[in-house]
Amino acid sequence: MDPTDSAIVPAAECRTMVQVRAAIDRIDRALVALLAERQGYIEAAARIKTDRDRVHDDARIEDVVAKVIAEGREAGLSPEIAEPVWRELIARSIAHEFRVFDAQRK
């Protein structure tokens, strides 16, 4: 745990931008760690898939986005933030998966 985490207060209780920025920085560090973990699974998919045509899967993309929007609603995340963020994340992940897939087969 980061030693500055003890200074983190809930968003509704923030009274200064220092408090807001400290919380956002903490969240960003956690998101980076989670995105790195997610990337590892993208790389595993590239290793496991045997057909390059299976890297991009429209049905899977729509399933992931729908799940994220539903989960986001329950957590209080606006669909106007969730959907475009995840669509971009998925697009970048697919591009990375193609690069890894191709590099492993050279």
pLDDT by residue (tens digit) across 28-46?
Answer: 999 999 999 999 999 999 9
How much is the pLDDT for 106?
A: 85
CATH number, domain of 42, equals 1.20.59.10
d(CA 26, CA 3): 11
On whether the pTM is more than 0.85, the answer is yes
- Compute the half-sphere exposure of residue 37: CA atoms within 13 Å on the CB side of its CA: 6
- The whole domain housing 95 covers 3-104
d(CA 92, CA 94): 5
Q: What is the pLDDT of residues 72-99, one digit of tens each?
A: 999 999 999 999 999 999 999 999 999 9
The predicted model gives 54-78 an average pLDDT of 98
In the chain, how many domains are there?
Answer: 1
How much is the pLDDT for 41?
A: 98
From the number of C-beta atoms within 10 Å of its C-beta (0-12, 13-18, 19+), residue 96 rates as: middle
Residue 3 — pLDDT band, cuts 50, 70, 90?
Answer: very low
